[in-house]
Structure 1
């Protein structure tokens, strides 16, 4: 935990990208593989679930610190962070331990199996064996609220420097459903012979601001594209199965049964990147129509009728099982270097109430 707490402190105390990158790289160089894997999971928004009720945590912290509850609440109000408040008010540690990050995450998970008295005893012992910074990190992990001031993209860059593996390959390996309890650093990151995961999506490429718009070519060759008001998603067809992913790396196949037709219409080994869009009578609908479907566990026939969806495809990412992202990029580069405006070709497919618009050429920041 000491090494991870030091990483947290270094990341928290700087806004400089290179300093953050150095801190991450040093952690990956020093940490054992299992701790690296947990750090990667935490930085890619895979955090352990909260195992102890927040009110109990407050009560036990007050009891251990000797503070009256009203003073604790006032301190919390000033500090603005519950985990930090508890870390600061607790007495000095009675013993010091050097357990790993993995040990403490397993410890947090084990609290769920204990009764209230057992949780209190174990939590008190943990607090009294950690430094102030370690307690802060431990508290945030325990309460399911841990965040670090670093992007996943920067973490992947540091991991690439550590392993020598290209960033785009690592980003793809970190997509989809995985959890440190069921894999290893070797299997997830280093192994080239990975077990196939038919549902695995590709990293979502997001728009970014350009310092100089002319760096992407002659403005006479640009094309404007409509900003669709939907949800970014990927449609995957592999081994006769359909998977639909949202940009937040949530598998949402069951929420959009209209897309089942893609399983029959698209060949195996196809991945499309695009927009999940409310769509009816050949027209897009307002986003608030789509919101009536978001968050629902069951999509009823009434909802399907009221808020039908289409999929507007931006890019073809995989074809016949082959990653064609570089092929798309090559086409975009060729288009930007052509003499005349690049006229994108659209295919229009409609069946079973699903509208699919496909176009190639917008990839890796290129505008065509």
Structure 2
């Protein structure tokens, strides 16, 4: 635990990518495989489920520390992180753990799920007395299921590649899919063989950068293949050894949620992996994302929902054919192979391939992109004809050219403190629009402002608070911001009658007064006709859970 807590501290204290990679490399080179497996598990974004309720942790810490509940809550409000608050409030302890990370996880943390409250209190109290302050902090993070540190899986892959001398693409593939944090798994990361015997294992997803410049700057249009940028769930369908698996980009097996895709997938030849997008699809047309959301949260889908929201898989790439990895082949070659493969599907199949977009110039392409919303898509994908299927975001090979977002001007009416490094600042905001002379809240946003702007808004919030509702403050309605969002639907769950997706702040409108903000009727006018009777969409990206598009 001591070494892992030290690694966490090193990663948390620097923003330098190379320092993070170096710290992880040194850890992986010197750790016991049993510890290394758990370190990879947590650093790559996997977590234990919450083992103890937050309220119980508060109670246990307050009792052991001998402080009243109100003081704990005030401390928590100032710190903004439960694990850190507990580590700071517990009585000082200079001990350092004598147990390695794997023992703490398997013998001290995981058993908490099988204990009653009194046993948990005793186990936690004992653990806290055996750990230093930094170790307690990491321990608390693991117990609460809130462990995260500022490294991406790509950085973990780089560190492991340097530590094992195995190619990054191989490491990335070995980390995909389901695996258990065992010493055997950690050792398999550096194995000489290809390490890809797991028949269900997907490939790392190739991603695109957002196109920020004019498309003319990336070359002639003849060098690029054009596709729709679908608004669904990115997934891979895998057919190997007579079995079918469907993986989301969030590395979650989801074939039980989409049973209508299994039968057509079974007709794919063994040794086939195709990449594409799962969409709500009815009467030959894609449905709004809000319809697909009705399927995302369901582990098992009933007959009515299957009938109401049928889904299809739009294939746009093939990664494995006849058991051979063909990702290094040019996209043009892969596309022709994919077309011949999907041609064998029946006309009623829920696995299909959408025709490529034809355009003779970037000007013509721009017109097609501007009409994207009419087809319930987000814009265009631009892919070089000679591109391979790489790992992560492909520089200068794949671009996503999304249609401009919706936007409006809104008034800030509520604020609360953020988390992590923003725990002491009011950085999470609720915005409202005018409706018959009243301000009605319709969106929450917490991204888009600079650190300097957040500090300025924080000062305003503290000086202009009207009321407090727990952690939330209502403030004088004086600040106007331009908000951008990807989509908008009708919603019966919100007082405003609408729900917006991915709202963020684009600009602080110092030039506008509250009375100049937009009306709710104006914002409702942005709702596409097709979504007038849709189920409501969630307002934030967290609504997708682990599933990623």
TM-score by length of structure 2 reads: 0.61
Describe the superposition over 1:199-219 as per-residue Cα deviations: whole angstroms up to 9, x where unpaired: 111111121247987896545
**Does the CA-based 8 Å contact 1:34-1:185 persist in structure 2?**
yes
Q: Secondary structure at the match of 1:327?
A: coil
- Please state how far the C-alpha of 1:28 moved relative to its aligned partner: 1.3
State the partner residue of 1:317: 319
- Please state how far the C-alpha of 1:119 moved relative to its aligned partner: 2.0
List gaps (5 residues or longer) in structure 2: 357-382, 400-549
What is the correspondence of 1:179-328 to structure 2 with a 5 Å cutoff? 179-181=180-182, 183-190=184-191, 192=193, 194=195, 196-209=197-210, 217-328=219-330
Q: Name the CA distance, whole Å, in 1 between partners of 2:190 and 2:63.
A: 44
Q: Secondary structure at the match of 1:227?
A: strand
Out of 189-198 and 245-254, give the one that drifted further. 189-198
Q: Secondary structure at the match of 2:230?
A: coil
Question: Would you tell me which structure has more strand in proportion to its own residues?
Answer: 2
The number of residue pairs the alignment matches comes to: 359
**Does the CA-based 8 Å contact 2:170-2:194 persist in structure 1?**
no
List gaps (5 residues or longer) in structure 1: 336-341
**Does the CA-based 8 Å contact 2:260-2:350 persist in structure 1?**
yes
- Please state how far the C-alpha of 1:264 moved relative to its aligned partner: 3.7
Out of 58-67 and 141-150, give the one that drifted further. 58-67
State the partner residue of 2:47: 47
Q: Name the CA distance, whole Å, in 2 between partners of 1:187 and 1:108.
A: 26
**Does the CA-based 8 Å contact 1:173-1:189 persist in structure 2?**
no
State the partner residue of 1:338: none
Q: Secondary structure at the match of 1:208?
A: strand
**Does the CA-based 8 Å contact 1:223-1:367 persist in structure 2?**
no
State the partner residue of 2:27: 27
**Shift in alpha-carbon separation, 1:91–1:150, aligned structure 2, 3 A:** same
**Does the CA-based 8 Å contact 1:234-1:271 persist in structure 2?**
yes
- Please state how far the C-alpha of 1:80 moved relative to its aligned partner: 0.2
- Please state how far the C-alpha of 1:224 moved relative to its aligned partner: 3.0
Q: Secondary structure at the match of 2:329?
A: helix
Q: Name the CA distance, whole Å, in 1 between partners of 2:94 and 2:262.
A: 60
- Please state how far the C-alpha of 1:181 moved relative to its aligned partner: 4.4
Q: Name the CA distance, whole Å, in 2 between partners of 1:80 and 1:183.
A: 38
Out of 186-195 and 23-32, give the one that drifted further. 186-195
Describe the superposition over 1:218-247 as per-residue Cα deviations: whole angstroms up to 9, x where unpaired: 455234321111110011111121111111
Q: Name the CA distance, whole Å, in 1 between partners of 2:185 and 2:195.
A: 11
**Shift in alpha-carbon separation, 1:78–1:260, aligned structure 2, 3 A:** same
**Shift in alpha-carbon separation, 1:284–1:350, aligned structure 2, 3 A:** farther
**Does the CA-based 8 Å contact 2:312-2:350 persist in structure 1?**
yes
Q: Secondary structure at the match of 2:320?
A: strand
**Shift in alpha-carbon separation, 1:282–1:167, aligned structure 2, 3 A:** same
State the partner residue of 2:98: 98
State the partner residue of 2:166: 165
Q: Name the CA distance, whole Å, in 1 between partners of 2:332 and 2:6.
A: 43
State the partner residue of 2:86: 86
**Does the CA-based 8 Å contact 1:261-1:352 persist in structure 2?**
no
- Please state how far the C-alpha of 1:289 moved relative to its aligned partner: 1.4
Out of 358-367 and 90-99, give the one that drifted further. 358-367
- Please state how far the C-alpha of 1:196 moved relative to its aligned partner: 2.7
Q: Name the CA distance, whole Å, in 2 between partners of 1:158 and 1:330.
A: 33
Q: Name the CA distance, whole Å, in 1 between partners of 2:183 and 2:262.
A: 30
- Please state how far the C-alpha of 1:16 moved relative to its aligned partner: 1.6
**Does the CA-based 8 Å contact 1:14-1:20 persist in structure 2?**
yes
- Please state how far the C-alpha of 1:265 moved relative to its aligned partner: 2.4
Q: Name the CA distance, whole Å, in 2 between partners of 1:77 and 1:95.
A: 28
Q: CA RMSD for the aligned pairs?
A: 2.8
TM-score by length of structure 1 reads: 0.89
- Please state how far the C-alpha of 1:69 moved relative to its aligned partner: 1.0
State the partner residue of 1:76: 76
1:56 aligns with 2:56: yes
Q: Secondary structure at the match of 2:201?
A: coil
Q: Secondary structure at the match of 1:48?
A: coil
Q: Name the CA distance, whole Å, in 1 between partners of 2:212 and 2:295.
A: 38
Q: Secondary structure at the match of 2:280?
A: strand
State the partner residue of 1:9: 9
